[in-house]
Amino acid sequence: MKITFYGHASLGIEVGGKNIIVDPYISANPNAAHIDIDSLKADYILLTHAHGDHILDVEAIAKRTNAVIVSNAEIAGYYGAKGFQSHPMNHGGSWNFDFGKLKYVNAIHSSSFPDGSYGGNPGGFVIEGEHKNIYIAGDTALTMDMKLIPMRTKLDLAILPIGDNFTMDVEDAIIASDFLDCDKILGYHYDTFGYIEIDHKESIRKFFNKGKDLMLLEIGSSIDL
């Protein structure tokens, strides 16, 4: 499994011979100006919620690639009504895709489209594939529901928001990693806006002091699990 960071909360995942894009907000992110969305491969697009900083490039990528958009029922229905392929899910449900098993889990946040229309309830994803399991938290506060995930799935990596203000901060993300029973963390949802700028060295140090590994990737960089 290969995971590439495209800035903010945008990810590329290669698993099971398939390409997945998560929450594509790339073309308007000045920090990701070197990423060409027309070069990205996508068989699936996973959306945690409907905010503009998570769905900006969905239609451009889906039109070019014919990717299946996977999200909550409301978001999937929104794109389905526009003629895009979609797969609706809801909290607690899972589906066996050709890249592995995907489960839609709880997140504490809000969710509306940029035009103000209803975007359903926000969520996160657990992916089980190629003998590696990851959790993509989406935009969320710290929640006790995270304790439920390791009861079903042993995680190899947790991808957590750490920018504060709109989501968890670093300290809450450390607690979240305890709840998840996962000490390998990829941080995201930081630095894009003034509200969510972080001190990289201090953030890494705080995780290290708790015996945990926080990775802060350069935009366009990848890790292999």
- The domain covering 2-219 belongs, at the CATH homologous superfamily level, to Ribonuclease Z/Hydroxyacylglutathione hydrolase-like (3.60.15.10)
pLDDT averaged over every residue in the chain: 98
What stretch of H or E contains 87?
strand 86-89
Query: What is the spatial distance between Cα 24 and Cα 59, in angstroms, rounded to a whole number?
Result: 10
Query: What is the spatial distance between Cα 22 and Cα 2, in angstroms, rounded to a whole number?
Result: 13
Please answer whether residues 51 and 189 qualify as being in contact, where contact means their C-beta atoms are separated by less than 8 angstroms: no
Here the tokens at position 178 are 């305890």
Please answer whether residues 155 and 133 qualify as being in contact, where contact means their C-beta atoms are separated by less than 8 angstroms: yes
Instruction: List pLDDT tens digits, range 157-203.
Output: 999 999 999 999 999 999 999 999 999 999 999 999 999 999 999 99
Average pLDDT over residues 28-56: 98
Flag whether pLDDT at 130 surpasses 90: no
